[in-house]
Amino acid sequence: MKPKSKSKTEKKRWKLLHQYYSYTGFYNFVWQAVKKALPFIILIVAAIYVVNHYYDINAALVHLTETLPAYGVLGFFFISETILGLVPPEIFIAWAGKMDYPWLFLGLLASLSYLGGLVSYYIGHIITKIPKVHNYLEVKMAKQLKNSKKWGGFLIVVGALLPLPFSISCMAAGIIEFPFKNVALYGALRFLRFLIYGLVIFHVF
Return the higher-pLDDT residue of 123 and 64. 123
| pLDDT for res 39 | 64
Q: Under DSSP, is residue 177 helix (H, G, I), strand (E, B) or coil?
A: coil
pLDDT digits (tens, 9 = 90+) for 133-158: 656 555 555 555 566 666 677 778 88
Domain ranges of the chain: 56-201
Nearest to 171 by CA among 73, 89, 38, 81: 81
pLDDT digits (tens, 9 = 90+) for 173-194: 887 778 899 889 999 999 999 9
| pLDDT for res 112 | 95
| pLDDT for res 198 | 87
Helices 166-175 and 180-187: crossing angle in degrees, nearest 10, is 160
pLDDT for 21 beyond 90: no
pLDDT band of residue 125 (cuts 50, 70, 90) is confident
| pLDDT for res 119 | 93
Average pLDDT of the chain to the nearest whole number: 75
Burial profile 101-128: b = 16 or more Cβ within 10 angstroms, e = fewer = ebeebbbbbbebbbebbbbbbebbbeee
pLDDT digits (tens, 9 = 90+) for 162-173: 877 788 888 878
| pLDDT for res 1 | 47
pLDDT digits (tens, 9 = 90+) for 82-118: 987 777 888 888 888 888 888 999 999 999 999 999 9
| pLDDT for res 83 | 84
| pLDDT for res 167 | 85
| pLDDT for res 164 | 73
